[in-house]
Amino acid sequence: MPDTLTPYDLACEGRTTPLGLDEAVPRLSWKLADGRPGQRQTAYRLVIEGGGGRHDSGIVRAEESLHVVPEGFTAAPATRYAWTVTVWDADGAEGASASSWFETGLLGPEGWAGASWIEHDPALDPMMDPPTFGEPLPERLGSCPPARLYRRAFTAREAPASARLYVTARGIYLPYLNGVRVGDAELAPGWTDYRHRVQYQTYDVTELVAAGENVLGAQVSDGWWSGYLGFDRRRQAEHYGVRPQLIARLVIDYGDGGRDVVVTDAAWREHDGHVRHADLLMGEVHDARLERSTAGRWSPGYDDSAWRPVRIAGADHDTLIGMLDEPVRVTEEISPAAVTALPGGRILVDLGQNMVGRVRLRVRRAAPGTRVTLRHAEVLDESGEPYVANLRSAEATDLYIAAGESEEVYEPAFTVHGFRYVEISGHDDVDVTGRVLHSDTRFTGELVTSDPEVNRLLANIRWGQRGNFVSVPTDCPQRDERLGWLADAQVFLPTACYNADVSAFFARWLRDVIDGRHPGGAFPDVAPVVDRYPVNREGAPGWGDAGVLIPWHLYRVYGDVRTLERCFPAMAGWIDWIESGNPDLIWRDRVGNHYGDWLQIGAETPREVLATAYFAHSATLVARAADVLGRAADAERYAGLAQRVRKAFADAFVGADGSVTGDTQTAYLLALAYDLLPDELVEPAVARLVDAIRRNGDRLSTGFLGVALLCPVLSAHGHDDLAYTLLHQREFPSWMYSIRHGATTIWERWDGWTAEAGFQATEMNSFNHYSLGSVGQWLYARVAGIDQAPGSVAFRDLVIAPVPGGRLTSASARYESPRGLIATAWELKDGAFSLDVTIPPGARAVVRLPIGGGTHEIGSGTHRFTVPQGD
């Protein structure tokens, strides 16, 4: 820890050094560190230099270090800015400085002038030789078109002073310049509601452009744009478009004011490509012989006369925006835990972890044309064979056709699978490495306890997050679904925010949530909305409410007022829509595909109880949001409405004895969590909740919505012990039941596999769904004791109240909060309790110690508390 106030982790719009920023008035943030106690920032100074200008804020007296808008600064397009922040501490002494940079993108459609969307021209498609794959391919994979190759040669008069490539696709693309793969983004441009926006990527290609002839190229596949999507099994369903398109703008600056610009236009040429079939769900067929036959295709001097002219698909630029968050990247490699033989000469690789991504395959000494087939599975069946029935129509198969070299390396580029096991057939001199992919949100949290099972649960939760934050927060990563279901995202968000900085990721996805609204104001069940999808529904209680809960939570955790502001009209519109369809304020109508407490087990929480509870909760949050945004009239209106919904709830569903209609765990959890009970009935309702759990053999019965509230509500009402009992419960249904049976991710359902019944029905049985992992929030907030006070924003007013319990004898956590590091480490030893706490500058904490240790107020710095035995 420094002994002076020190800014670090500088961020612009929630990102570290964004290149291609799509914001002319960017918000700057920094964290603070200081080893001295009681420190805080009292002033800052920002100097921003770029585009030939210099902006100096002077010394600004302010404690704020988050989302600071440099007053009077507006960024120009395509300009790199260096920025430095200097801070002053509590005593008015100058602290340290730190520097970073951001670079704007084109800042609007005008920057794309001249560039056209180009595509394969089906009219020119010569009959290609049918690929000689030998045996037939999996049917749907075989129906997918190839990833096409696009290239264009151009001349640079000299090596540039600077060069930028702005590029994207309606589809998925990989860019190349002079034979070199550009950047490290995977599955770019990611999935957004393409009807409204397509993110372009910006790459610094200064080093790749050379004097003389150059070649810009790309491989482009269907992706989310025109490939298989969700559980719509129509072939080439054309949800957004018929075939993929590419658009690019390469800007070369020579340093003497001279500039060349290369755009996608009619001069480009196109070829079928060696990835013969490519699809996110189905997999990929890669013919290395064909790949060798176009060797040199991305380099100068290659003869592309056999390539076809492209077709101009359009020159519309309105949907193009710069990347708003980090792209998907490969973030980790996994070596196999075991490799075994399966009958028929097949090899089974166990990566030891249910992961999301692909493998890198190494093939040695294969004859030309050898087919190596990779099938992916999350689990094995009873006979030890890969179990793929739960993937439904997703074929999740990659096929590599060897060129015949002594060693060949292959990694699919246009597909992604959720798997732990890979079955390899066709050649046995092979090995694989797992390549983990996800949106590259920075990890911020880490929690380790003395109990290995709890640690495994934490790891499973984190793996679920990684595997399902692939461009969009999805329900699952493996079967033919992988959709941005709103409730899943909403219940898991609080946990996700501890694990990683997901601010930019969610703020971007929320734009699709808003654009997915139905006329009248209902939020969709799934975002991005998939056009022409058979199950486009809207308005489900707990699902649509995510449109309110998520912006609010992002504000609470990150202090993101701008996103709250952007979302507010839609948030209010959602409440208005519910209210106008349910004048007696019991939410019975306008419930869409009411999913209830989805996948609850052995309980049936009445749907109108659940819906009305959400109605009250969302209305309350809209009122609070209005308050934050200075909309007094709205704040009053929605607070009043929330009060009336509460009353309607109590009148309709709450008995004089504190019972809630349905008498289920979730019914009580909702009523307690969302403050729907008259004061005098809170304790009786808590007693009934406890009783409902006890009667169930100390086991839960909650589904997606209820489970998120379970441990937090028990803790809030003095029942940490019962929360721990549920945490450690090993009998079905419980978290530990799945872990005892080998889970390395969170299962979609409590009964995904049971000793009595084996696998659940194939129709809906994912082994990597994060929703039931929402208990992560409680583990951080209560077990590790890192939480913020009710009115606190971005962890300024902390409540550090770790609760030893269950089998735990210690827990230690580090959370890189938006303001800086918060850490706790506690231990129970010989009956005494000790706690180390670190608080960042500017934050305050109320520390509540267990076993009669009392309450303490502290400021920043590192503090140690001990509560001796028998105290």
- Binding span for ligand RAM by CB under 6 A among 222-230, 241-249, 272-280, 484-492: 484-492
Measured from the Cβ of residue 700, the count of other Cβ atoms closer than 10 Å reads 26
The structure tokens listed for 527 are: 């975002």
Q: With H, G, I as helix, E, B as strand and everything else as coil, classify residue 760.
A: coil
Shortest gap between Cβ of 800 and ligand RAM (angstroms)? 34
Q: How far is the CB of 474 from ligand RAM (least distance, A)?
A: 9
CB of 485 to ligand RAM, least distance (A): 4
**212's tokens:** 């003389």
**Binder to ligand RAM among 372, 487, 635, 823 (CB under 6 A)?**
487
Q: Based on CB atoms, which residue is closest to ligand RAM, 618 or 817?
A: 618
Alpha helices in 288-402 (DSSP H): 288-293
Provide the CB-side half-sphere exposure for 257 (13 A, CA).
0
Chain residues 732-791 in contact with ligand RAM, contact rule CB under 6 A? 769
Counting every residue written for the chain, the total comes to: 871
Do the strands 472-473 and 469-470 form a parallel or antiparallel pair, or are they unpaired? antiparallel
Nearest distance from residue 769's CB to ligand RAM, in Å?
6
Q: How far is the CB of 748 from ligand RAM (least distance, A)?
A: 6
* φ, ψ of residue 715 in degrees (nearest 5): -65, -40
> Which one, 580 or 593, has the nearer CB to ligand RAM?
593
Residue 476 engages ligand RAM in binding (rule: CB under 6 A): yes
Beta bridge partners of 47: 56, 84
Q: How far is the CB of 766 from ligand RAM (least distance, A)?
A: 7
Q: How far apart are CA 20 and CA 79, in angstroms?
A: 9
What is the rounded distance in angstroms from the CA atom of residue 53 to the CA atom of residue 829? 60
Taking the least distance from each CB to ligand RAM, the nearer of 476 and 726 is: 476
| Among candidate residues 126, 137, 120, the one with its CA nearest the CA of residue 401 | 137
Q: Select the residue interacting with ligand RAM from 270, 481, 579, 720 (CB under 6 A).
A: 481
Instruction: Give the nearest distance from C-beta 407 to ligand RAM in angstroms.
Output: 41
In the complex, minimum distance from the CB of residue 729 to ligand RAM, in angstroms, rounded to a whole number: 23
- Sign of the C-alpha dihedral computed for residues 523, 525, 528 and 529 taken in this order: negative
Structure tokens at 188: 């770019």
Q: Which stretch binds ligand RAM (CB under 6 A): 74-82, 165-173, 480-488, 686-694?
A: 480-488
Q: Could you say which of 284, 325, 326, 475 contacts ligand RAM (CB under 6 A)?
A: 475
The closest alpha carbon to 198, from 236, 250, 245, 243, belongs to 245
Q: Which lies closer to ligand RAM via its Cβ, residue 491 or residue 500?
A: 491
Contact 712, 781 (CB under 8 A): yes
CB of 234 to ligand RAM, least distance (A): 18
Burial of 257 (0-12, 13-18, 19+ CB in 10 A): exposed
Using CB under 6 A, pick the residue from 9, 272, 488, 608 that binds ligand RAM: 488
Stretch of 13-21, 479-487, 716-724, 823-831 lying at the interface with ligand RAM (CB under 6 A): 479-487
- Span from 47-55, 427-435, 474-482, 776-784 in contact with ligand RAM (CB under 6 A): 474-482
At 73, the amino acid letter reads: F
Give the interface segment with ligand RAM, choosing from 404-412, 483-491, 496-504, 848-856 (CB under 6 A). Answer: 483-491
Rama region for 861: left / alpha / beta (φ>0; ψ in -120 to 50; rest)? left
- Region from 271-279, 377-385, 473-481, 671-679 binding ligand RAM, contact rule CB under 6 A: 473-481
* Shorter beta-carbon distance to ligand RAM: residue 119 or 488: 488
Residue 147 Cβ, how far from ligand RAM at the closest point, in Å? 28
The reply on whether position 485 binds ligand RAM by CB under 6 A is yes
Return the ∠ at Cα 15 (arms to 12 and 16), rounded to 5°.
Answer: 90
User: Of the ranges 159-167, 481-489, 614-622, 728-736, which one interacts with ligand RAM (CB under 6 A)?
Assistant: 481-489
What is the C-alpha separation between 505 and 499, in angstroms, rounded? 13
**Cβ nearer to ligand RAM, comparing 476 with 625:** 476
598 binds ligand RAM (CB under 6 A): yes
The single residue of 378, 481, 538, 579 carrying the catalytic annotation is 481
Tokens representing 558 are: 């990150």
User: 87 pairs with which residues across the strands?
Assistant: 44
748 annotated active-site: yes
Marked catalytic residue, from 23, 119, 186, 748: 748
Q: At 811, which amino acid appears?
A: A
**What residue spans of 344-500 are helical by DSSP H?**
452-468, 486-499
Residue 326 structure tokens: 């980090």
DSSP line for 357-374:
EEEEEEEESPPTT-EEEE
- The nearer residue to ligand RAM, 488 or 560, going by C-beta atoms, is 488
Contact between 70 and 57 (Cβ < 8 Å): yes
Task: Mark the segment that binds ligand RAM (CB under 6 A) among 264-272, 282-290, 482-490, 648-656.
Answer: 482-490
Nearer to ligand RAM, 193 or 488 (CB): 488
Half-sphere exposure of 247 (CA within 13 A, CB side): 26
Q: Please report how close the Cβ of residue 475 comes to ligand RAM at its closest, in angstroms.
A: 3
Q: Which residue, chain included where needed, has tokens 């492209």? A: 310
> What sign does the CA torsion over 258, 260, 261, 265 have?
positive
- 480 binds ligand RAM per the rule CB under 6 A: no
Helices (H), 281-355: 288-293
Q: Are 500 and 444 in contact (CB under 8 A)?
A: yes
How far is C-alpha 184 from the chain's CA centre? 18
Q: Is 394 in the site for ligand RAM (CB under 6 A)?
A: no
Distance CA 609, CA 307 (A): 63
For CA atoms 404, 405, 408, 413, the dihedral sign is negative
Query: Shortest approach of ligand RAM to residue 744 CB, angstroms?
Result: 19
> How many residues make contact with ligand RAM (CB under 6 A)?
9
Which residues 6+ apart lie within 8 Å of 655 measured at CB? none
Structure tokens at 400: 């590599």
CA distance readout (Å), 593 to 535, 616, 667, 856: 10, 20, 20, 49
CA distance 22 to 8: 23
Smallest distance from the beta carbon of 487 to ligand RAM, in angstroms?
A: 5
The catalytic residues are 481, 748
Could you list the residues that contact ligand RAM (CB under 6 A)?
Answer: 475-476, 481, 485, 487-488, 595, 598, 769
